[in-house]
Amino acid sequence: MARSQEDGQGKRDKGKGTGMAKGSRTAETSDRKLMRAASILAAAEMILRDGDGELEMGQVAEQAGVSVGLAYHYFGSKSGMLGAIIHAFYDRYNQVANQHIDPDIRWGVREKSRLMAVVAFLYDDPMAPVILGKMARTNQVAAVESARHEEMIEMAIRNIRSGIRRGDIGAHIDPAIAGAAITGAIRSGIMHAMAMDPRPDPAKLGHQIWGMIAGALDIER
């Protein structure tokens, strides 16, 4: 009886070991897939930056050192790959634009600080001029890019409403109109500045854009 129990325990221990090994292999495989997908996206971004905002899956596969079939396996289509790049960019953008800042700070001071961070981000992110410029003109990605831009407008509208509730912005300001106008102006102004040679100093650019925002919202600069 004792021997039988030992044999059973050994089988159970062996089974546990096999399960752990399988789990380890699964995690390793998952990590490898993520790394491979990331390397394919990095190759795609390089092609978009160096070109005119267009790419072909064959180009990406060659740049990444993988088969075309594998690129399709991960992203489904060229549009799927471009969508993944756009979403990743806007996720980074949202982290900066929607970062937590002490809510007790006066609205204008807080939002000027947020704007300066956004200007610095768009100046530094290598995909900003591609997605907001080159790729925005292509039909393939217009819908995806437009939807993410609308999210930025909605964030601006909510933010302006918050300023009105606090009494920092006059109640005569229409949040929807102001939010759309300001978001578009920030985007256009920064994109125009980034195309200049040399580029304007980002701090000076931020101050100039903030002056426009303060004027539109009728608040202290």
Question: Which domains does the chain carry?
Answer: 2-75 (no CATH), 82-217 (1.10.357.10)
Are 160 and 217 within 8 A, CB to CB?
yes
What one-character DSSP code corresponds to residue 34?
H
The answer on pLDDT for 80 being more than 50 is: yes
Tokens at residue 206, please?
A: 């931020």
The answer on pLDDT for 45 being more than 90 is: yes
Q: Is the dihedral of CA 67, 72, 73, 74 positive or negative?
A: positive
**Three-state DSSP class for residue 55:** coil
pTM: 0.79
Tokens at residue 109, please?
A: 């001071």
Per-residue model confidence as pLDDT tens digits over 104-155: 899 999 999 999 999 999 999 999 989 888 787 676 667 787 888 899 999 9
